[in-house]
Structure 1
Amino acid sequence: LSAGAKLRVFREPWVKTPPPADGNESVHAFLARRFGVGIADAFADSIVSGVFAGDAKALTMRGAFPRATDAEAAAGSVIKGMKSGGKPGKLISFRGGMQTLVDRMAGDLGSSIRFNSEVTAIEPHENGVTVRVNGESIEASDVLLATPPGKTAALIAPIDQESARDLRTIRSARVAVIVTGFREEQVRTPVDGFGFLVPRREKMRILGSLWTSSIYPGSAPEGRVLFRTMMGGMHDPKALTLPGRALLPIALRELNDVMGIDGDPEFIKVYKHDPGIPQYEAGHEEIVKRVASRIGPRVSMIGNGVDGVSVAKLLELYERGLSFQPQAGTRAGVAG
């Protein structure tokens, strides 16, 4: 960064240029307006890649990072608003991994969960909703769809074709995660932080790498380090067409360029997430509102295609009472 770009950051509290009235300002445009083009060019890509694997010039700031837009609206400055907004959140997990949360929720729901059961149709009627699953009909008072936008579109198409078309316009970033484990002495760079994200101008195929064993102590055996390296996303969709054995050497080579690693990993896992991460691009908020108003009140939506891609955000929605509550008895939830 140039000295001018760094100094421009300190002017942010005095920037008076208002955001566009339509609320569809991109992440890149927001950072350029508040902090300067130099900061936007240097950091917008890596920030967006790290969370959404998306395009910083397509995702809206309001949809992707609402805390920042709320801070500006409340204090007239992102810096001032963030300072007065309380302590920032932190990354946490369970000793047994995120599967602990899934197992606990499944235990609470008990026998009401039906695994490997394909829902072929939902049919709202005057007295409730009929759910067609595995050739069987289940009657419910209402249905909560916790499915990706594309699957939700397929289920609601018989109810409202226009809503289905709207949902199909929500794009998703397909992501591959290459998990590798090494002995501590193999890694020449100290692994004592969060990890790193890669802006596109670096011309690398990996989006970044999280130092999982540093973020979550206990996630790797003593004397070992664990990396989660991401590839694909909106800028490199072809990566997901490659088999895992082809992705691995690319990820290892570029990880080595940054970290300085001697030898081969002791542990390897490659995961592909398809459809991946929904993209909150211009018009997303309006789409969700339109669809919700058309298909309700007996059918509603939740999930990362609606509001928030993090587990924390989904738990927040749960606390608001928007998620499936088995004690209601006649509610049905569809996930997958």
Structure 2
Amino acid sequence: AGDVEKLSLQATFPQFAGMEQKFGSLIWGGWMRRWDTHLAVGAPPATPTERWSLFVTLKDGLSSLIQSLQKQIKDVTVQTGQPVVRVSPRENQYEIVLSGKKLLVDAVAVTTDATMAAEFVQPWDERLSRQLFSIPYVSTATVSLGFRRKDLSHPLKGFGYVVPRAERKTILAVTWSSSKFDGRATASEVLIRSFVGGAHQEEVVDLPDDQLMDAVSKECGSVLGISGEPTASCVYKWRKANPQYNVGHLSLIAEIEKASAKHPGFFLAGAAYKGVGIPDCVQQGWETSEKMIRFLKASL
């Protein structure tokens, strides 16, 4: 979804930069990493005929991750459906204003997008606010379509495809969800998810859902040989929800960390800073919680 002319390799895929520096090429580096991994577990690398996948998900959907977390945490109050209106420093604490009540806390972690975080800190740290506002975002949408398997001439062997920008299509990429993950469709059906929008065509996200589904259905149909109409459809729009790690992002984050450190007990985490993927965000969650615990213990 980003502009490859602007994105920072060091910030988006640091492992690729490391592989190129160590092995001289991404292809050779990728093979060597696979070889090292299989040597570590005592098995040879998979041959080209063996099926293996880098893609994993949760059987019951990603929401089950949060549901499981809520069940496991103890002695914690979880408040949902409570919009935060304001976060303000109050002597050695922070006041959190919700819709209808106030909380006074010893430490706070803001894990919203950077734009919302910028709005929270603007009244009491203009410089930090400007730094947070400077992290760019783009809008994207996903269009999921279900089809009868018999209506496709394509076997859907693999995971999907990406569409070169030069093709001037609505779709950026397509994932064959029912091929990529188990349990996404019955044996007689297929589920296809398309990605649209991004840095070069954000305006597509503003199209009405029916127009978006029609455009995606036609483009998928021409590539995959689809003869029937969708049996199911769903559109999710993510407006200004995809942070862009442009060149200079790592330096910007270093400045943001330096500025936020001037406010003891205030922490920032989330997709805008050190990784947009779920594993990166989970890692940030662990690290931020540990920082908060150390801060609170030191304050006793």
Q: Give the alignment's TM-score, normalised by structure 1.
A: 0.76
Matched, 1:283 2:248: yes
For 2:225 and 2:289, locate their aligned partners in 1 and report how far apart those are by CA, in whole Å. Answer: 45
For 2:37 and 2:220, locate their aligned partners in 1 and report how far apart those are by CA, in whole Å. Answer: 32
After TM superposition, what 4+ stretches of structure 1 lie above 4 angstroms from structure 2?
86-89, 323-328
Among residues 211, 214, 220, which one is paired with 2:185 in the alignment? 220
Instruction: Tell me by how many angstroms 1:57 deviates.
Output: 0.5
Paired position in structure 1 for 2:194: 229
Equivalences for residues 1-336 of structure 1 within 5 A = 53-85=1-33, 86-87=36-37, 90-109=54-73, 112-296=77-261, 297-319=264-286, 321-323=287-289
1:318–1:126 CA distance, 2 compared to 1 (3 A) = same
Instruction: Tell me by how many angstroms 1:77 deviates.
Output: 4.3
For 1:194 and 1:273, locate their aligned partners in 2 and report how far apart those are by CA, in whole Å. Answer: 23
Instruction: Tell me by how many angstroms 1:98 deviates.
Output: 0.9
Q: Is the 8 A contact 1:187 1:260 kept in 2?
A: yes
> Per-residue displacement from partner, 1:38-91 (whole Å, max 9, x unpaired)?
xxxxxxxxxxxxxxx111111111111111112233445444544444449821
Counterpart residue identity of residue 265, structure 2: R
Counterpart residue identity of residue 308, structure 1: G
For 1:84 and 1:223, locate their aligned partners in 2 and report how far apart those are by CA, in whole Å. Answer: 39
Instruction: Tell me by how many angstroms 1:180 deviates.
Output: 0.5
Paired position in structure 2 for 1:4: none
Please identify, of 104-113 and 135-144, the stretch whose mean Cα deviation from structure 2 is larger: 104-113
For 2:277 and 2:37, locate their aligned partners in 1 and report how far apart those are by CA, in whole Å. Answer: 18
What SS class does the counterpart of residue 305 from structure 1 fall into?
Answer: coil
Between Structure 1 and Structure 2, how many residues are aligned?
278
Instruction: Tell me by how many angstroms 1:96 deviates.
Output: 0.9
> Per-residue displacement from partner, 1:278-326 (whole Å, max 9, x unpaired)?
000122222222122112242111111111111122223334x324899
Q: Is the 8 A contact 1:95 1:219 kept in 2?
A: no
Gaps of 5+ in 1: 1-52, 332-336
Q: Is the 8 A contact 1:144 1:324 kept in 2?
A: no
Percent identity over the alignment is 26
Gaps of 5+ in 2: 39-52
What SS class does the counterpart of residue 288 from structure 2 fall into?
Answer: coil
